[in-house]
Amino acid sequence: MSKTLAKAVKTEPLKSEDAKWIRLVLTTYKDPLGKERTWEYAERQTRPVSSPVDAVGIVAIIDLPSGPEIVLQRQYRPPVNAVCIEIPAGLVDEGETPEQAAVRELKEETGYVGEASMPTSIMLNGTNSYSSWSHIHELVYS
């Protein structure tokens, strides 16, 4: 039996008013020499008011008799039209703490249930083109 892989079938521009998750932003700033410049980037629209971050990444460690192992997942990512190997991750929902989001996302994406540790300090990912703020949580599953 052949395994069907995900693949992009159509790519087209998205109108700003139709975007659900991000919006495009143009920022004007002055560089260290005082020259005015502009920068365009994508800004997440879904950060909960109650949370310092909009996303979590999870370093899930399974404590096996042969030693600890880290959980990775394969996930299709449309922007690169490829399956990527990455740590489990996801968005923080309204009314949810980053720790709760980490536990929920780990279960949704891998089936494992763990207990969240203290997060890292806030991590800024892809700062040249994106404004996502994340915490990384270590979850231990035994």
Q: What is the dihedral of CA 118, 119, 120, 122, to 10 degrees?
A: -140
Q: Residue 81's pLDDT is what? A: 87
Count of C-beta atoms within a 10 Å radius of residue 4: 6
Q: Model-level pTM?
A: 0.77
Q: What are phi and psi of 42, to 5 degrees?
A: -100, 140
Domain tally, the chain: 1
pLDDT bucket at 102, cuts 50 / 70 / 90: very high
Q: CA end-to-end span of the chain, whole Å?
A: 34
Residue 70 within a domain: yes
**Distance separating alpha carbons of residues 44 and 89, to the nearest angstrom:** 15
Q: Report pLDDT for 131.
A: 66
Residue 101 reports pLDDT greater than 80? yes
- The residue among 63, 86, 82, 92 whose CA lies nearest residue 74 is 86
Radius of gyration of the chain (CA): 18
pLDDT tens, position by position, 36-93: 999 998 888 888 888 888 889 898 988 889 999 999 999 998 888 888 999 999 999 9
Helix or strand run (H / E) with residue 99? helix 98-110
Is the per-residue pLDDT at 24 higher than 80? Answer: yes
Please give the pLDDT value at position 134: 77
> CATH code at 63?
3.90.79.10
Q: Write out the residue range of the structural domain in which residue 79 sits.
A: 48-141
Query: Does residue 34 register a pLDDT over 70?
Result: yes
- Tell whether 36 is covered by a domain: no
Contacts for 66 with CB less than 8 Å, ≥ 6 apart: none
Residue 6 lies in a domain: no
User: What pLDDT shows up at residue 2?
Assistant: 53
Residue 142: per-residue pLDDT: 54
